[in-house]
Structure 1
Amino acid sequence: MRRPRVLALAHLHTAETLKVEYGDADRYFPDALAAVNKLLRDFRTGDVHDIDPALLDLLAALRARTGTATPFQVISGYRSPQTNAMLHRRSPGVASGSFHMKGQAIDIRLGDVSLGALRNAALDLGLGGVGYYPSSNFVHVDTGPIRTW
């Protein structure tokens, strides 16, 4: 039985959207992963980096857990070291060794799921780090160690 892995993403800074079948139960699709890498590039520098397929699986699990019917609204995907250093200088909340620089983190929200419910769903999954930023209207998820802030 074929089980497609599908995601819908809308990048808020570039206005780009992508609905993609990025894999099935047995494998990931290289062309689809390349399209995701491009969409989740550092929008400030244009640098593209490989996104951890486990991060896509985490998003797919969040989609299933929340029952969302809308694309993930992406605030930040990959960040180049230069961008991350600039953001770290501006805000102590930006980690100097951010998982964004490894393609293992994404900042998101959903149009049809409250921010609190999205955070709770991510916490329930227990698949990595979960940061809650209600004043900035996003949830951070990553495939690093399980931790919360």
Structure 2
Amino acid sequence: MRRRTLFLAAPVALALGPRAALAVPRRQPPPAPRRLALRHAATGERFSGPWHDGRTPDPKAMADLSRVLADSRTGDVMPFDPLAIEVLWEVARRSGLAGELTILSGYRTPQTNLAVRGAGDSQHLRAGALDVLVASERLAGFAEQALKLGRGGVGIYAQRGFVHLDSGPLRQWGDVPGGVAVARAPADPLARMAEAWAQTRTR
């Protein structure tokens, strides 16, 4: 039986040719690290460097990001949601927004959330939302990519110059004049919260 098996295998090897015996599976290159640079506008705290190794978020980098995105009034820190950071990174990458990103608001304590009239179920309360300051000439493109990504919440505040991103349920509000048309939702508690926060930043 063994001789018969070897006999049948020989024609197969000859048909495949000498390269078949030498074929070695190509090793896939390791995924590139994901880098991010951001600054909290209220505190001046900064992060710059890789936050993700291409497969999973880096724990130390996430701890540093959580400190940078701490509540700006109390300094309280909550572990930030890596999915929210991923949304920010992906939207910035797709829109070609290189360099340091300016964050108006990250994590909020209940006290801070109350002070800016935030909703009781705010994504900021769970460290899963970011309000990103974007230059007027880049805001439309940034907002468009955020909407195309189709992840979490996207609130566009063209007049205030920022875009809200979060890792919560899929939803959108606000508008970009002359750009992406997005239905307004003035009754949305998250929209009211972001608007209230923007007002505090201009005082």
Q: How high is the TM-score relative to the length of structure 2?
A: 0.67
Distance 1:26 1:69, change over 3 A: closer
The alignment's C-alpha RMSD in Å is: 1.5
Q: Which has the higher strand share?
A: 1
Structure 2 Cα separation of the partners of residues 8 and 61 of structure 1: 13
8 Å contact from structure 1 (residues 130, 141) kept in 2: yes
Shift in Å, 1:37: 0.2
Partner of 2:32: 3
3-state SS of paired residue (2:116): helix
Unmatched runs of 5 consecutive residues or more in structure 2: 1-29, 174-203
Partner of 2:47: 18
Shift in Å, 1:112: 8.4
8 Å contact from structure 1 (residues 107, 140) kept in 2: yes
Partner of 2:73: 44
Shift in Å, 1:111: 4.5
Structure 2 Cα separation of the partners of residues 73 and 140 of structure 1: 12
Partner of 1:63: 92
Picking from 65, 73, 78, the partner of 2:107 is 78
3-state SS of paired residue (1:114): helix
Picking from 158, 180, 190, the partner of 1:134 is 158
Q: Does residue 109 of structure 1 match 2:138?
A: no
Shift in Å, 1:97: 1.4
Q: How high is the TM-score relative to the length of structure 1?
A: 0.90
Q: Which has the higher helix share?
A: 2
Larger Rg belongs to: 2
Q: Number of aligned residue pairs: give it.
A: 144
Picking from 96, 116, 126, the partner of 1:87 is 116
Unmatched runs of 5 consecutive residues or more in structure 1: 89-93
Structure 1 Cα separation of the partners of residues 101 and 136 of structure 2: 10
8 Å contact from structure 1 (residues 70, 112) kept in 2: no
